């Protein structure tokens, strides 16, 4: 049997394997009780570059929409998953719930709310990488000051409970689509990359 010296293996210039963490966030799930309810579970996450945020939608109509710290309940034209509709009789953690995944490419703070649920000012908000000056509690306080807004009148997005949403444009300079869940491809928006996820397996023989 022929052995390859360890130093030779290191000199071959293999690409390093980068392990990412997937943050599973329930939409329409109460983070306190773990039951169906208002908001996101969890409502605060701290991913790093390369990590994945996977929004999983619970019973009712929900949509994850990107906003700003100052205006939590108003879309900033960024990420919009489209409205996802899930049957009321499904258990809170039923298998095959609709999901929408994004890959993080920046640790800048990002802000989201559940537009279709119509309960942003009741706490249906998500803080991604909040800072010491723009905190998650302050973001929720800003949301509480917003007027109640009705949910979108037009339903969009894929209601298939096994669907994974993807983005719309491969050009990073283009703004995010307002209906990203319906369009294939990849785009970059405010620290997130929406794309199909592929795996690279390196073998040493």
pLDDT in tens, 112-124: 999 998 999 999 9
31-35, 177-181, 201-205 — which one is most confidently predicted on average?
Answer: 31-35
All structural domains of the chain: 19-194 (2.60.40.420)
What is the residue-averaged pLDDT of the chain? 75
Q: Are 183 and 168 in contact (CB under 8 A)?
A: yes
9-23, 109-123, 175-189 — which one is most confidently predicted on average?
Answer: 109-123
* pLDDT score recorded for residue 62: 96
pLDDT band at 153 (very low <50, low <70, confident <90, very high): very low
Q: How far is CA 205 from the centre of its chain?
A: 38
Task: Provide mean pLDDT across the span 20-37.
Answer: 95
**Residue 177 CB partners (closer than 8 Å, separation 6+):** 80, 167, 168, 169, 183, 187
């Amino acid at each position: 049997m022929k052995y390859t010296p360890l130093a030779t293996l290191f000199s071959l210039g293999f690409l390093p394997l980068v392990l990412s963490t997937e943050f599973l966030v329930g939409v329409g799930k109460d983070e306190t009780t773990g039951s169906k309810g208002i908001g996101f579970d969890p409502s605060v996450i701290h991913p790093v570059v390369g990590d994945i945020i996977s929004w999983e939608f619970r019973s009712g109509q929900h949509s994850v929409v990107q906003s700003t710290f100052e205006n939590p309940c108003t879309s900033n034209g960024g990420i919009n998953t489209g409205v996802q509709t899930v049957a009321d009789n499904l258990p809170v953690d039923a298998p095959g719930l609709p999901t929408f995944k994004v890959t993080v490419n920046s640790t800048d703070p990002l802000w989201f709310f559940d537009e279709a649920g119509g309960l942003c000012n009741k706490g249906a908000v998500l803080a991604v990488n909040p800072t010491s000056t723009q905190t998650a509690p302050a973001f929720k306080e800003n949301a509480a000051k917003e007027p109640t807004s009705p949910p979108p009148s037009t339903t969009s997005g894929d209601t298939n409970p096994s669907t994974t949403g993807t983005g719309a444009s491969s050009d990073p300079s283009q703004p995010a689509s307002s209906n990203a869940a319906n369009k294939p491809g990849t785009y970059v928006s405010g620290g997130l990359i929406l794309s199909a996820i592929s795996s690279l397996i390196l073998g040493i023989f």
